Amino acid sequence: MGIFDHNKPGQEWALSLDNNHIHLILSEKELAASELSDSDGGAVSLTLDMLDLDAALPPDLLKESRVVVIEVDGAVPSSIDRISSIRKKFPHLPVVAAVRNAALPLVRTLLKNGIADMIELPLSYSDLSEALQQILAGMKKDEKVETRPAKIISVIKSIGGVGASMIATQAASRYAEMHPGGQGGTCLFDLDLQFGSIASYLGVNQPLNLSDLLDAGSRIDGDLLQSVASTLPTGLKVISAPAEIMPMEAVNAEQIYRIIDIASREYDTIFIDLPGNWTNWSVSLVARSDIVLLVVELTIASLRQAKRQLALLESQGISGEHVQVVVNRVEKKLFRSINLQDAEKAINYPVQHSLHNDYPLVSAAQDQGVLIEEIRRKSKISKDIEILLASIDETLGRAD
């Protein structure tokens, strides 16, 4: 391993002969606390830059970089602003945030700013090497194809039983048919770790599932992700929920983020069916999503909880046109106790989409493990889903 002088910022610190143009930007305090000298060599080369947390980045510092690792402190807003500045000037440059005792609000802010990964301070060689090797492997795989991060559509529910998983399943499958091209197509993740039912809804019998990705730790990569995914005739890739009920608190949040980060480089569009109970990682994924579909039905219990869900999202800075309310099982009757206008007043939020109630058709499709269109090609609910997907494309700025 090369020897470096903490007092000479900008010098090259070579861990190997590979010229990967990786910049490591740390304050003097964290540089002194780092455990980088414990390695016996490695597979990356770094350029070390010692800058205070509130110091602006020199204009040409990252011009030739392939990856940047930069210190961030939630108590120093300018250190977060540096991340935003990098993303604006170099949108395709992977940024790794080095953070000490990261609090959840800071994690969400960094995820929204599009970081590629996050590592804990004080910095150790093993953590740094693992993060960089994973990023560089993904870049090497995709270097011949210019890619963009996948668009993420999260589906959440007001209460259980409103049909959120059905909508996620049918919408993702139809969306995959509508958009067969691109870098990797569409993938649906069932992250309802305890009650996930997407595999049975789609007749998926793949023995591998999300638990295999959670157990893989740092070994996870694009190839493993693809091996776990089932492929439907529509072209949709599906990552099923664990076969066994998994305690929510047993899930490693960092591993969830790592899985979605890799998936965002493998696919064009990701649909995520989230659990009904909120966790730190589910809130973070929603914050990172391009569109959030909140599924409700026209009952007092569902609308009351939907209003609480919307308030929670707003308190986390998640609001605006990308949060869309979907009312499921709407009866087209002349006299109803609650209609769509009543729903908007109850939740104090516009209803963007509604789906007809066709319980016999939906129930038959789910019982057989097939899509609605396989039972009835032209149904009102299928048409409603296509209208929903057209709106998603419009929001994402995509053409059919």
Residues 372-389 have pLDDT tens digits of: 989 998 899 999 999 999
Q: Does residue 180 have a cis bond before it (omega within 30 degrees)? A: no
| The last residue of a domain, from among 142, 176, 191 | 142
Residue that is last in its domain, among 97, 117, 142 = 142
Model pLDDT, residue 278:
93
- Indicate which CATH number applies to the domain containing 102: 3.40.50.2300
Last residue of a domain, one of 116, 142, 168: 142
CA pair distance 158, 308, nearest whole angstrom: 9
pLDDT at 19: 46
- Domain that includes residue 38, residue range: 12-142
Q: What is the pLDDT of residues 299-313, one digit of tens each?
A: 999 999 999 999 999
Query: What confidence tier does 126 reach under pLDDT thresholds 50, 70, 90?
Result: confident
CATH number for the domain that contains residue 188: 3.40.50.300
Does 39 have pLDDT greater than 50? Answer: no
Three-state SS for 149-173 is CCEEEEEEECCCCCCHHHHHHHHHH
Which of 258-262, 336-340, 359-363 is least confident?
336-340
Q: Which residue has the higher pLDDT, 333 or 362?
A: 362
Q: Give percent of the chain with pLDDT exceeding 70.
A: 88
Of the chain, the percentage scoring pLDDT greater than 90 comes to 58
Q: Are residues 286 and 183 in the same domain?
A: yes
Asked whether residue 4 is assigned to any structural domain, the reply reads no
| Shared-domain flag, residues 203 and 129 | no
Residues 328 and 230 in one domain: yes
Task: Evaluate if residue 14 carries a pLDDT over 70.
Answer: no
Domain-located, residue 304: yes
pLDDT at 9: 44
pLDDT for the residue numbered 387: 96
Residue 7 lies in a domain: no
Domain presence at residue 178: yes
pLDDT tens by residue, 279-300: 999 999 999 999 999 999 999 9
Residue 4 has pLDDT above 50, yes or no: no
Asked if 55 contacts 32 with a C-beta cutoff of 8 angstroms, the reply is no
Judged against a pLDDT cut of 90, whether residue 259 lies above it is answered with: yes
Residue 334, pLDDT score: 59
Mean pLDDT to the nearest integer, 35-40? 57
Q: How many domains does the chain have?
A: 2
Q: Is residue 32 part of a domain?
A: yes
157, 129: one domain: no
Q: In this predicted structure, what is the pLDDT of residue 16?
A: 36
* Mean pLDDT in residue range 212-229: 90
Q: Report long-range pairs for 311-317 (Cβ below 8 Å, ≥24 apart).
A: 312/278, 313/286, 316/108, 316/283, 316/286, 316/287, 317/108, 317/287
Same domain assignment for residues 134 and 52? yes
What per-residue confidence (pLDDT) applies to 326? 98
Considering Cα of 120, then 123, then 129, then 135, what sign does the dihedral take?
positive
Q: Are 147 and 265 in contact (CB under 8 A)?
A: yes
- pTM of the entire structure? 0.68
Asked whether residue 340 is domain-assigned, the answer is yes
Assign 393 a pLDDT band (cuts: 50, 70, 90): very high
